[in-house]
Amino acid sequence: MKYIVIAILTIIIVGAIQAFRNKKGNLLINNSDLLGTGQLLFPELKTDFEVFFNTFIKDKKIFLSDNKELLEDYDNFELSKLKPIEVIYIFGDSKEKLWMTDWRGEENEREIEHFIESNLKIKIDWTNVNGLRKGADEGKQRDGEFIIDLLKAINNDLEPINKTLIFFELGWDAYVYTVVDQASYKTISETFGALFHGTEKLRK
């Protein structure tokens, strides 16, 4: 009986320790560790992002007050309960550094390629994309499946220039993403794989 009690207590203690570690990990994810992630996502806006994100981390009331006008465009969020990933999204979207595509597909053909080339300020050889688009009528391109093939083809065409798509996990019926270099993607996905992912997680 004594050994059973000890075993039960051991299980409870181990469980409590693990729960504490998980909670601690979540708190870390919800705090300043994500500052570096935002700076990797928006390398040309590091200083602006640091100010924006640090204000949110230090004092949410001041953050909401200082960004009141900007946040009026994001009333789909529960602003008083903003999550760090949502703050990163708002910053990136407001700076036109993110793109969003409905789960069914593009509103306008080649809008994704235009977004990427505009942000990277280079012309890209869309070999895989052009091959995929060839012969795909408008109906097929809005069937919810073509967009997944398209995003993967885009990613393949980005590989030769050391770039890759990275997606935000926001729980929406849409794809939210941008382009980063492959080293930044590796760092972000390995650290915060629950919040960001690549095309490998896109499923039909």
Number of domains in the chain: 1
User: Predicted confidence band at 30 (pLDDT cuts at 50, 70, 90)?
Assistant: very low
The count of other CB atoms within 10 Å of the CB of residue 36 is 16
Please check whether residue 68 lies inside any domain of the structure: no
Residue 168 phi, psi dihedral angles, 5° rounding: -90, 135
Q: State the residue range of the domain holding 135.
A: 98-204
Residue 86 lies in a domain: no
Question: Model confidence over 98-109: pLDDT tens digits?
Answer: 999 999 999 999
**CA dist., res. 114 & res. 202, Å (int):** 21
Looking at residue 135, its pLDDT comes to: 81
Write out pLDDT tens, residues 135-182.
888 888 899 999 999 999 999 999 999 999 999 999 999 999 999 999
pLDDT of 1 reads: 55
Specify the range with the lowest mean pLDDT, choosing from 9-13, 69-73, 128-132.
Answer: 9-13
**Assigned domain for 151 exists:** yes
DSSP for 33-80?
A: HHHHHHHHHSGGGHHHHHHHHHHHHH-HHHHHHHTHHHHGGGTTS-GG
Determine, yes or no, domain membership for 173.
yes
pTM, two decimal places? 0.83
Is there a domain that residue 121 lies in? yes
Q: Compute φ and ψ for 101, nearest 5 degrees.
A: -125, 130
Q: Are 199 and 155 in contact (CB under 8 A)?
A: yes
Instruction: Report if residue 163 sits inside a domain.
Output: yes
Give domain status of residue 193, yes or no. yes
Could you tell me if residue 199 is left (phi over 0), alpha (psi between -120 and 50 degrees) or otherwise beta? alpha
User: Residue 22 falls within a domain, yes or no?
Assistant: no
pLDDT at 139: 81
Neighbours of 105 (CB within 10 A): 19
pLDDT tens-digit series, residues 61-81? 999 999 999 999 999 999 999
Judged by average pLDDT, the poorest of 11-20, 100-109, 117-126, 194-203 is 11-20
